[in-house]
Structure 1
Amino acid sequence: MIKRTLYFGNPAYLHKNNLQLKVHEPKTNNELGSIPIEDIGVVLLDNPQITLTHALMSALLERNTAIISCDSKHLPTGLMLPLEGNTLQSERFRYQVEASEPLKKNLWQQTVKAKVENQAALFQRFAIDNKRLKALVPQIQSGDPDNIEGRAASVYWKILFEEDDFTRNRFGEAPNAHLNYCYAILRSIVARALVGSGLLPTLGIFHRNKYNAYCLADDIMEPYRPFCDELVYGMWKKGEIKDIEITREHKAKLLSIASMDVLFDKQKSPLMVGLSRTTNSLFECYKGERRKIIYPEFMA
């Protein structure tokens, strides 16, 4: 069952009652809604006047819910995940920690290949010539020593927004902020799936920044980024995005990334559900039970 993504942008008092998340209006204490906690996968808190009880927080984390906090600019800034997301966690940590460098290089090769192939598929979906991207795929080697990922990104962003004066930059003009927002949500969903599979989001296969607590999430999300790009690019071309402001309507669309339909082994699945297949397949690669990570593809 696909878990729900909840967004709270107004003042609210959130508490637990009979395994339900209860939403109350702070001033009047009127109940505004009730959601079964077991149905929740992500909670996004986007208002400084939101109160969350410890009992509710504990119940959400026990069910592997990702709790995301936003800053004064309404951008995701913090992520809370459970410490124990799998009953065999210590055993799975050991396989992850002991993974050999050749294995990690091979896994990164698979990851980069899947990302570039999905970027090319996005071009095809929007009737954009993807020959330059497709030509780069056979050049991806173990560990990507020639940085084909970076070369593909340069081609990708230049062609995707060829008709617009756009440069992909975290702090750049629109629609950079919308891309950042969607990526932040995606990163949280990926980290949640990794914890659920008993893996440490900190220990990456390629990313190794000592200040980054989610190196593995940053690795595994790479082939998923084009699905965020599809959402934002479609909104941009329809004229829905005017400037860097991310409106409530924009957020609703970007949060739908969790339920977007994707293909896994030619079978349709919501992205959040399919992510568990990706992270479980990654563990099986660490354990030596399989050789390939299962990554998503675009729907035909």
Structure 2
Amino acid sequence: MRHLLNTLYVMTQGAYLHLEGETLAVEIERQKRLQVPLHHLGSVVIFGDIMVSPAALHRCADDGRGVVLLDRRGRFKARLEGPLSGNILLRQAQHRVAATQALELARAFVAGKLRNARQIVLRGARDSGNELDREALRQIVRLLAGHIRRLSSVATLDEVRGIEGDGARVYFSAMLHLVRADAREVFPFERRTRRPPLNRFNALISFIYTLLVHDCRTAVEGVGLDSQLGFLHAVRPGRPALALDLMEEFRPMVDRLALTLINRGQLAEKDFEVRPGGAVYLSDPGRKTVLTAYQQRKQEEINHALLQQPVPVGLLPHVQARLLARVLRGDVEGYLPFLIR
């Protein structure tokens, strides 16, 4: 099993990252605030105007340690990585399967997403103390079950994408009923909005999805796959389509993290900023709260039904990327997404 390495998130504007021996040091206003051994780090994510020494960038590239640049609001800007690694034969197999068997894999990714979404809603229905909310959630559970059944009979990628899109719409209609009643005024949710997010709930999940796609891209590239060649998501220049494919089954898991932060009162109105034009983003303190919870969640262990052993949540994308690679090589038949119990 691969060792779960940490991700260093640097958010303080004007900070400076540089090498000190076998460590990465973070200075703020010429004072050292943090020093982390390099062998503990799997990647570095920096937000906004933060400087990184050339030596630190070179060392990260040499070690295969990704450095991701986001703007202050968490939107992706760039990624530094070293030479492409992995088995060329595996990537050739990936291209062959994309040309001949994309439908089967796309169906599996969407089935995993919808099945996990249904579990989140089902759990919410069981835990709800409000009969109206409970009945609304039960109806959404039934609708999602119907979408899952329809997947087995689709004949084209467009049909799979159509079911995924409509299933996501149905699933997101549950969010209002899953948010604690006294938090719904602060965290209203009518529909998914992006680029920019138009309310606090959308701002929260958009930020967490950015973290998730980074982890999934690291996972698929870590096993030698081409992150830009997907099966469900259409190929576009610069788009990590395979990472987006893989993250579908994990979206409901991070949605649950977002709901937990809201329902436990760890995030409030003060943790968000409204920009001119109606765009909403997490504030710096809000992002720190989310990053801390996200990292803690990645350390927790969860039982993997296929492996029959506990796996740290942060390693699940890597495990699933390895299973996908085995399918592409022809070692096993059919991709099995990770399913929430």
Residue type at the aligned position of 1:269: V
1:7 is aligned to: 9
1:249 is aligned to: 289
Deviation at 1:102, TM superposition (A): 4.3
Distance in 1 of aligned mates of 2:32 and 2:229: 42
Asked if 2 retains the 8 angstrom alpha-carbon contact of 1:186 and 1:258, the reply is no
1:181 is aligned to: 207
2:33 is aligned to: 32
Asked if 1 retains the 8 angstrom alpha-carbon contact of 2:229 and 2:235, the reply is no
Deviation at 1:210, TM superposition (A): 2.0
1:22 is aligned to: 25
Deviation at 1:64, TM superposition (A): 3.2
1:98 is aligned to: 96
Equivalent runs, 1:262-273 vs 2, <5 Å? 262-265=302-305, 266-273=308-315
Aligned residues: 294
Matched, 1:274 2:316: yes
Equivalent runs, 1:121-136 vs 2, <5 Å? 121-126=119-124, 127=126, 128-129=137-138, 130-136=141-147
Instruction: Evaluate the alpha carbon distance shift between residue 264 and residue 63 of structure 1 in structure 2; reply closer, same or farther with a 3 A threshold.
Output: farther
Asked if 2 retains the 8 angstrom alpha-carbon contact of 1:16 and 1:22, the reply is yes
Deviation at 1:100, TM superposition (A): 5.1
Residue type at the aligned position of 1:65: R
2:151 is aligned to: 140
Asked if 1 retains the 8 angstrom alpha-carbon contact of 2:227 and 2:242, the reply is yes
Asked if 2 retains the 8 angstrom alpha-carbon contact of 1:105 and 1:205, the reply is yes
Asked if 1 retains the 8 angstrom alpha-carbon contact of 2:108 and 2:337, the reply is no
Residue type at the aligned position of 1:75: R
Deviation at 1:95, TM superposition (A): 1.2
1:151 is aligned to: 166
DSSP-derived class of the 1:14 partner: strand
Q: Deviations over 1:89-136 (max 9, x none)?
A: x22221111225442211111111111111011123323432322232
Asked if 1 retains the 8 angstrom alpha-carbon contact of 2:73 and 2:281, the reply is no
Asked if 2 retains the 8 angstrom alpha-carbon contact of 1:96 and 1:286, the reply is yes
Residue type at the aligned position of 2:290: H
Asked if 2 retains the 8 angstrom alpha-carbon contact of 1:202 and 1:214, the reply is yes
Distance in 1 of aligned mates of 2:35 and 2:150: 52
Q: Deviations over 1:62-110 (max 9, x none)?
A: 3332322121434343333333233x2x222211112254422111111
Equivalent runs, 1:35-184 vs 2, <5 Å? 35-48=36-49, 50-86=50-86, 88=87, 90-99=88-97, 101-126=99-124, 127=126, 128-129=137-138, 130-141=141-152, 143=156, 145=159, 147-162=162-177, 164=184, 165-166=188-189, 167-170=191-194, 171-184=197-210
Deviation at 1:38, TM superposition (A): 2.0
Please say which of residues 278-287 and 93-102 is displaced more in the overlay. Answer: 93-102
Asked if 2 retains the 8 angstrom alpha-carbon contact of 1:20 and 1:34, the reply is yes
Asked if 1 retains the 8 angstrom alpha-carbon contact of 2:111 and 2:148, the reply is yes
Asked if 1 retains the 8 angstrom alpha-carbon contact of 2:109 and 2:232, the reply is no
Structure 2: runs of 5+ lacking an equivalent: 127-136, 273-279
Q: Deviations over 1:244-263 (max 9, x none)?
A: 44223233224545435444
- Structure that is richer in helix per residue: 2
Instruction: Evaluate the alpha carbon distance shift between residue 135 and residue 16 of structure 1 in structure 2; reply closer, same or farther with a 3 A threshold.
Output: same
Indicate which of 281, 299, 324 corresponds to 1:259. 299
Distance in 1 of aligned mates of 2:19 and 2:237: 34
Distance in 2 of aligned mates of 1:82 and 1:294: 30
Distance in 2 of aligned mates of 1:224 and 1:268: 17
Please say which of residues 167-176 and 63-72 is displaced more in the overlay. Answer: 63-72
Residue type at the aligned position of 1:138: R
DSSP-derived class of the 1:98 partner: helix
Instruction: Evaluate the alpha carbon distance shift between residue 224 and residue 82 of structure 1 in structure 2; reply closer, same or farther with a 3 A threshold.
Output: farther
> In angstroms, what is the RMSD of aligned CA positions?
2.3
Instruction: Evaluate the alpha carbon distance shift between residue 222 and residue 179 of structure 1 in structure 2; reply closer, same or farther with a 3 A threshold.
Output: same
Asked if 2 retains the 8 angstrom alpha-carbon contact of 1:2 and 1:272, the reply is yes
Query: Identity of counterpart residues, as a percentage?
Result: 19
Distance in 1 of aligned mates of 2:102 and 2:143: 27
DSSP-derived class of the 2:200 partner: coil
Asked if 2 retains the 8 angstrom alpha-carbon contact of 1:108 and 1:205, the reply is yes
DSSP-derived class of the 1:269 partner: strand
Distance in 2 of aligned mates of 1:15 and 1:228: 32
Distance in 1 of aligned mates of 2:145 and 2:327: 26
Residue type at the aligned position of 1:31: K
Structure 1: runs of 5+ lacking an equivalent: none
Asked if 2 retains the 8 angstrom alpha-carbon contact of 1:133 and 1:152, the reply is yes
Instruction: Evaluate the alpha carbon distance shift between residue 194 and residue 104 of structure 1 in structure 2; reply closer, same or farther with a 3 A threshold.
Output: same
Please say which of residues 284-293 and 253-262 is displaced more in the overlay. Answer: 253-262
Please say which of residues 152-161 and 12-21 is displaced more in the overlay. Answer: 12-21
Residue type at the aligned position of 1:53: S
Distance in 2 of aligned mates of 1:177 and 1:260: 25
**TM-score normalised by length of structure 1:** 0.88
